[in-house]
Amino acid sequence: MAAVVRTLVGSATKLQWQPASVLCCRAVSTTMPAQDPAIPAPVSKPKGNQKVTMIPGDGIGPELMHSVKEVFKHALVPVDFEEIHVSEVQDWGQDHQDTVEKVIQSFERTGVGLKGNIRTPTHGELMGMNMVMRRRLDLFANVVRVKSMPGLKTRHHNLDFVIIREQTEGEYSSLEHESVDGVVESLKIITREKSQRIAKFAFDYATRHGREKVTAVHKANIMKMGDGMFLRCCEEVSKLYPRIKFENMIIDNCCMQLVSNPYQFDVMVMPNLYGNIVDNLAAGLVGGAGIVPGESYSHSYAVFETGARHPFAQAVGRNIANPTAMLMSAANMLKHMHLEYHGQMISDAVERVIKVGKVRTRDMGGYATTTDLTTAIIDNLHRGKFSNFA
């Protein structure tokens, strides 16, 4: 049985949020006026707090959400969380329909959410809770910005590209059956409407964010009808954006190119399964699953979560999880909600701590706990961009 918990996070106030059209992520300036030693406060503060749906999820999700709540509290973020506990693993065998309805109703009130990973078991219903929520909310576009974190040593430096994934159809259509004993058929559904929609989303994103190139990733040489139609839709949409360069690349070659020369990519758009694989591969280029934030959009809703979705069950309760990706996702959520001051304050604090390098979790080569890193970020919230404290 899902429990809905409202959590007061900040005592500051709210702006009236309205979902953006089509993209639901219209370009928002993330550059705050540069002053030292601190980010300038907003000129005026409107009244009231905005509501946000929070789904902690499975694995380390609840621990990451605790870090978010602590940081929001100290940053005086004007947000109230509606917390809904969703799990297929903990509630195995139960009817999840009531839980889904509570999630949908919450999003109808809030329009925006912060979500941990919900583990999908290998047994049970064909369509897991993640897919059910994506379908019900029509979260067709998943966006993962793969950006090098200053001060974090990786094989490749200064990376900055975006992966856009269609996530309501393709191999995740949940249409499987055993036609005869020992023979299973899994249907991959590709539609013109949704292929055109995600292609337009990608080109709109590139235009709004000053990107120069869109690469469509596919396997049209083998799946000539399904991926072939996806590629043709991307080609058709590209003609509407003459200032954006368009390329296409076969998925297997794309994986090789990502690890050998990732600098060639700017915005990438692809069907569902390829996006899931490429998201995780790309996260490894800049430090791993604990670093990269992500977000999903429909015409009416926005959900912010980590870019690489792993419950990391072996770390549960050990206080070793890296909260960076979830905190950066939360900061992006605030910017989306027109709370740029608070979002920029949090993302700057995260980047300062990692750049100095004194407090890092194990996945970043350090020995700090989740609590240590969260505390260091809180201590840096109101410090200048050039502070060496961490």
Rounded Cα–Cα distance for residues 299 and 165 (Å): 15
Tokens describing residue 129: 């809770």
Count the helices and strands in the chain (H runs, E runs).
Answer: 10, 13
What number is the average pLDDT over the span 97-109? Answer: 92
pTM of the model: 0.84
* Three-class SS state of 388: coil
The neighbouring-strand residues paired with 304 are 114, 295
Task: Tell me the C-alpha to C-alpha distance, in Å, between residue 157 and each of 27, 190, 262, 263.
Answer: 25, 36, 10, 9
3-state SS record for 294-350: EEEECCCCEEEEECCCCCCHHHCCCCCCCCHHHHHHHHHHHHHCCCHHHHHHHHHHH
Angle at 265 between CA 263 and CA 271, to 5 degrees: 145
Statement: residue 236 has pLDDT above 50: yes
- Between residues 98 and 161, the one the model is more confident about: 161
Q: What is the pLDDT of residue 118?
A: 86
- Decide if 28 contacts 338 (C-beta within 8 A): yes
Task: Please state the rounded mean pLDDT for residues 284-296.
Answer: 96
Q: What mean pLDDT is predicted for residues 292-304? A: 97
Sign of CA dihedral 187, 94, 313, 350: positive
In whole numbers, what is the pLDDT of the chain averaged over residues?
Answer: 86
